[in-house]
Amino acid sequence: MTLFFETSYYYIFNVDISPSAIYVLLETNNIEVKEFLSFYLDAYIIVYGLFLLLLVIISILANNKKLLYVKKPVFGAIPLVLSLIVVLFVLKATPLRHQNLPYLLLKSFYVVYYESGVVNASAYKSEKGIFNNTKTANNNKNKLYVVIIGESTTSNNMSLYGYYRKTNPLLSKQEGLSVFKDVISPHAGTTASLTKAFSLQNHEQSSTHQGSIVQLLNAANYETYWVSNQQPVGFAETEITKLVYACKNKFYLNTQDTEGLNLYDEVIFDTLNDITNHDIDKSKVVFIHLKGTHFYYENKYPDTFNVFKGKPKNNIARYKKEYETINAYDNAVLYNDFIVNHIIDKIKNQNSESFVLYFSDHGEEVYHTISFAGHNDDVGTLPMFQIPFLLWQSGSYKQSNPVEIDLDRPYMTDDLFHSIAHLCGVESKYVNLEKSIFSKSFKKRKRIILNNKDYDSLYAIENKN
């Protein structure tokens, strides 16, 4: 089993398995596991698994005279051969422990509980946490602020960012929409990226202070909401669920009771209507977590959005299945365009002091630079980090909360805590405007990804070739 797992992982991703990869598997829910298997398994892996199973059966039979009446010398060498194969494959790295699966399993649990950053879940359970002496820049009522978290959406497949297909027909017509051109995520996975985006941590180091953006907003007397079309837990409780525990109102629309259903992201519309139509005198911040464009892509949109069907313009993809994958992803982006645009229109019609911020947790490789579709920090291509970052502001918001819009600013969302606080007008000793993309005080910094690599240097090299 160890040999099969490690070899299959290398075959799919062309990299050795790592503790971070195992951690991602542990925090994945049942639906995503099924989609992963159907997306990546092929005949080669299945035949390889059956071959290993056959060798194991022969080995067992060879060592049991009652089960197999043959001369033992014929099969006696098989267990030795199998053992040598295991040693060669499993312990091939130097030092040996780095590619030993049992070691990696133990190491992955260490990563989860000691290196993830959100170790002390109790720090995020109290309503206001560490945030004292917090205030807002203006005391206007009837504020309605919305933060939309996308899933696995790369800016490379969005016409807003120059993609040749019209995957953003609605958002491209949305008046007053600011499209930031150079924003990336710190990781190619949801948990690691959003943990940093919504807490005081950043990519270079974990903060000595533990606190979430939700707790900061609570302390500033906002009514906070978390509306999610993602399951709150996987094999283990996810860090994101812990991180938003203090949210005053939580709505998880995709639970185990609805596991067998394709709940498209439009399922959040009714809940959003209820939030906007009640307690209109309260200042609200609503976080909406979408399924977005996570694989299996064709399950993320209804048939009415199955628009792109022809052969895509792509220099990497060569086979029909790869063409279909690109088409399905583009259709998912098209549907996501409808979802985000609908939310903006809904907030616009409230005539409140409002903004809508949309970004994706991370990007996605869809045959842009290599023959691969998906996201994985170990593979780590640049499209997995290149994300959309959009801001819409109402007229009354612009008057009360003037922010600086520089669409070319290089930014990484591990500092998003400070940008959201700035948009919401929250003042605190923990809010650093030098880390807000919307601030005149913004300071550019190195954007480190992929185990201490400079994103901008990698980008320059890739675009030079």
What is the band of 375 on the pLDDT scale with cuts at 50, 70, 90?
confident
- DSSP three-state, residue 312: coil
CB atoms within 10 A of CB 73: 8
Whether the per-residue pLDDT at 206 is higher than 90: the answer is no
* pLDDT of 33: 52
Residue 56, pLDDT score: 62
Check whether 236 has a pLDDT greater than 60: no
Q: At which of 80, 115, 150 does a domain end? A: 115
Q: Tell me the average pLDDT across 91-112.
A: 48
Residues 330 and 380 in one domain: yes
Q: What one-character-per-residue DSSP string does 203-271 give?
A: SS---SS--BHHHHHHHTT-EEEEEESS-SBSSSB-HHHHHTTT-SEEEE-S-GGGTTS---GGGHHHH
> Would the pLDDT of 170 be above 50?
yes
> 326 near 344, Cβ under 8 Å?
no
Q: What is the pLDDT of residue 4?
A: 53
Q: Are residues 107 and 153 in the same domain?
A: no
Do 175 and 231 fall within a single domain?
yes
Residue 188 in contact with residue 294, Cβ under 8 Å?
no
Q: Does 33 lie in the same domain as 166?
A: no
Q: 129's torsion region: left (phi>0), alpha (psi -120 to 50) or beta?
A: left
Q: Assess whether pLDDT exceeds 70 at residue 91.
A: no
Q: Which of 115, 140, 157 is the last residue of a domain?
A: 115
The model carries a pTM of: 0.79
Confidence of residue 64 (pLDDT cuts 50, 70, 90): low
Query: What confidence tier does 377 reach under pLDDT thresholds 50, 70, 90?
Result: confident
- 61 shares a domain with 33: yes
| Shared domain check, 180 and 92 | no
- Residues 69 and 163 placed together within one structural domain of the fold: no
Which is higher by pLDDT, 424 or 12?
A: 424
Q: Is residue 423 part of a domain?
A: yes
Model pLDDT, residue 198: 95
- pLDDT beyond 80 at 289: yes
Task: Give domain status of residue 287, yes or no.
Answer: yes
Residue 120 domain-assigned? no
Per residue in 297-355, pLDDT tens? 999 999 999 999 999 999 999 999 999 999 999 999 999 999 999 999 999 999 899 99
How confident is the model at residue 257, as a pLDDT? 46
Question: Does 144 share its domain with 176?
Answer: yes
Q: Classify residue 343: in a domain, yes or no.
A: yes
Last residue of a domain, one of 115, 149, 169: 115
Closest CA to 400 of 434, 420, 432, 423: 423
* 195: containing domain: 128-464
Checking if the pLDDT of 69 tops 70, the result is: no
Please report the pLDDT score of residue 123 as a whole number. 86
* Count of domains for the chain: 2
In a domain, 94, yes or no: yes
What pLDDT is attached to residue 96?
41
DSSP character for 111? I
Residues 59 and 181 grouped into a single domain: no
298 in the same domain as 376: yes
Is position 121 within any domain?
A: no
**Average pLDDT, integer, range 388-416:** 97
Same domain? 89 vs 221: no
Residue 56 contacts residue 82 (beta carbons within 8 Å): yes
- The string of DSSP codes covering 353-383 is EEEEEEEESS--EESSSSS-EE--TTT--GG
CATH code, domain with 295 = 3.40.720.10
**pLDDT for residue 379:** 78
**How far is Cα 249 from Cα 247, in angstroms, rounded to an integer?**
6
> For residue 122, is it within any domain?
no
For residue 115, what pLDDT is reported?
46
Residues 96 and 141 in one domain: no
Asked if residue 297 belongs to a domain, the reply is: yes
Report for 124-128, 233-237, 378-382: range of highest mean pLDDT:
124-128
